[in-house]
Amino acid sequence: MFDRVTEYAERVVNGEVTAGKLHILACKRHLNDLERQNTIEFPYYWDVEKANRIIDYAETLTIAEGSEPKEVKLLDCQAFDIAVPFGWFKSNGKRRFRRKYKSMARQNGKTFENGITGTYVAGFSGYKFGKLFTVATKKRQARLAWEEMSKFINIDEDLNELFIVQDYKSLITAIESNCTIEALSRESGLDDGFRSIYSSIDELHQHRDNKIYKAIYNGTRALSETLVSMITTRGDKLNSFCKEMDDYCIKILNGTTTAEDFFVDIYCLDKDDDIWDESNWIKANPFLASSEEGLETLKTDAKTARDMGGSDLRDFLTKCLNMWVQNSDDQFINVEKWKKCGSKRTLEDFRYRECWVGLDLSSGGDLTTLALEFEEDNEEYYLYSHSFMPRGRLEEHIETDLSPYDLWETMELLTVTGGSGDYKNDYKFIIKHLKELQEEYNLKFLGIGIDPHNADGVLSDLEEFGCPILMVTQSAKFLNDATVDMQLAVKSEKIEYNRENELLTWSFTNAKIVKNSFGEMKVDKEPRARFKRIDPVDAAIDAHAVRMKFSTKEVVDVKSELDNYLEKMGWKK
């Protein structure tokens, strides 16, 4: 049986199709999954017949809009994006993908594709009495995908007999399955509890926060099959839910985080592409740039952007080339270099070794991390980290964040403490865990680095380790040397870590560089990006700072440190 999806993916990966790096990664992901399907590690399988079924359905439809009706003829990339979510299955026979994120330049058929998918699910997926929604911040936007579905139905005599379209209600009913398709928006009362077998969430860059996504996605948990399909063109708001989702999806494509239920495809120019070279434009515009008329439109927009600059240039970059307008020079590490540093070694390989310790004791109940740094030959280092979070805070983050904290708990990268009513970190428990690590692996601690903030409650406990303590002041002046040295170590691939530690990788890829007026640097997260935590990076740099500075006068005897603290607080005469 001809496999149009896989054949296209192979052509993209082989360079026969002009494509951006992220779309190439989406195709590679499909091909890599084919190689490992039906294994213990990857219990999913590809069903060509099911994938072809939705493609065949799409190409029986008629496009109503225009001077005269015409048959739908999918581009190969459209067939890929429509069929992959319907061709992969779990070992129990249920569809693998429950979420989809597609980003590309405007006027390239994203909403059109969701219209195809919605009518297919409602009328031909076999599900009875299901709810389907088209969703956006405004009702007018939410109706766009809904109207695509109604146009497919109204122009087609066969579909007309299978669906009832009630335009005044923004409601479509599939007669045989009793499934309904409804347009919803935040302004018209969208709330939690929507149990949808399919939802189209339009123009994610216009969403102020993740509330619409969470309201829809949280309502699908009890369903064995669902698809929440998010479509968007990138915007210019870097501190937004859309940017957070986009960053998360890029990590899925890069393989730095795992989300087997999430299909991702992003069409955009690459970082070093010449934005004025029209041969590159097809990377973000596979539909528009494939025709002479569409290419002429892009040329006109490019000339205006080049001549006018300012907001016109910004709009051309975001809307026509699907690029975020940002400065990537503030990234702490290069993701590709970081991935090359990953290995299979674990803490088991470092029994009876010496190491330095870094502790990041976050305030309240946020992520708290300990890190161990082991020095190898030739100034190479192995980095281990483990994080902690109270159960109550974890449950909150699962509801609000995109990050898979529950998966990380299962992977034993994160220890969750207490019960659902606990929201504050137990620092004594964390120090106890550190002691247990030392005893289990017969480790010798050469020094411990800790942020003075929140450290007062554990200083006396740290004294029992019998090693120097470095109070790591969280300023660019103090942290500059350790930050620069660790950044260079990653760049030169002299840092090693266990590649299964997704939580550590997630943190390192979140970290940004900030500098003071003297050019000294430290790491931080993006302003207002409260869900992109970097606590494991902070702990790792604390450990690195100990290794670099433990013999200086900044290293203090823990008893002296405790005495000074008590005197400062007025508790010692």
CA gap 210, 402 in Å, rounded: 9
In a domain, 339, yes or no: yes
In a domain, 379, yes or no: yes
* Pairing status of strand 88-90 against strand 44-46: antiparallel
In a domain, 287, yes or no: no
CA gap 57, 125 in Å, rounded: 11
Same domain, 370 and 227: no
CATH number at residue 428: 3.30.420.240
In a domain, 385, yes or no: yes
Query: What is the pLDDT at residue 555?
Result: 41
Between residues 250 and 241, which one has the greater pLDDT? 250
pLDDT band at 357 (very low <50, low <70, confident <90, very high): very high
Same domain, 99 and 207: yes
Same domain, 79 and 156: yes
Which of 223, 252, 267 is the last residue before a domain boundary?
267
Q: How many domains does the structure of the chain reveal? A: 2
| pLDDT at residue 223 tops 50 | yes
Same domain, 360 and 461: yes
Same domain, 263 and 353: no
In a domain, 358, yes or no: yes
| pLDDT at residue 135 tops 80 | yes
CATH number at residue 82: 3.40.50.300
Between residues 29 and 468, which one has the greater pLDDT? 29
Same domain, 165 and 49: yes
Which of 212, 238, 267 is the last residue before a domain boundary?
267
* The token pair that represents 359 in the structure block: 């502790």
Same domain, 41 and 147: yes
Give the number of other Cβ atoms within 10 Å of residue 294's Cβ: 17
pLDDT band at 556 (very low <50, low <70, confident <90, very high): very low
Residue 233 · residue 216 · CB < 8 Å: no
Same domain, 347 and 263: no
Same domain, 560 and 412: yes
Residues 6+ apart with CB under 8 A from 78: 109, 113, 286, 287
Query: What is the pLDDT at residue 559?
Result: 52
Query: What is the pLDDT at residue 112?
Result: 93
Residue 494's domain spans which residues?
Answer: 335-568
For the segment 249-267, the average pLDDT, to the nearest whole number, is 94
In a domain, 291, yes or no: no
**Coil, strand or helix: which one is 264?**
strand
CA gap 217, 133 in Å, rounded: 12
**Coil, strand or helix: which one is 251?**
helix
Give residue-wise pLDDT tens across range 297-309: 999 999 998 888 7
Query: What is the pLDDT at residue 400?
Result: 72
Amino acid identity of 318?
A: T
Same domain, 419 and 549: yes
Same domain, 252 and 360: no
In a domain, 452, yes or no: yes
Which of 248, 267, 286 is the last residue before a domain boundary?
267
Give residue-wise pLDDT tens across range 500-542: 998 999 889 888 888 888 888 999 876 555 567 889 999 999 9
- What's the mean pLDDT when you consider all of the chain? 88
In a domain, 415, yes or no: yes
Query: What is the pLDDT at residue 229?
Result: 95
Give residue-wise pLDDT tens across range 327-346: 455 788 888 889 889 999 99
**Coil, strand or helix: which one is 82?**
helix
Give residue-wise pLDDT tens across range 57-113: 999 999 988 778 889 999 999 999 999 999 999 999 999 999 999 999 999 989 999
Q: Which of 23-27, 157-161, 202-206, 328-332 has the highest mean pLDDT?
A: 23-27
Same domain, 377 and 258: no
CA gap 35, 29 in Å, rounded: 10
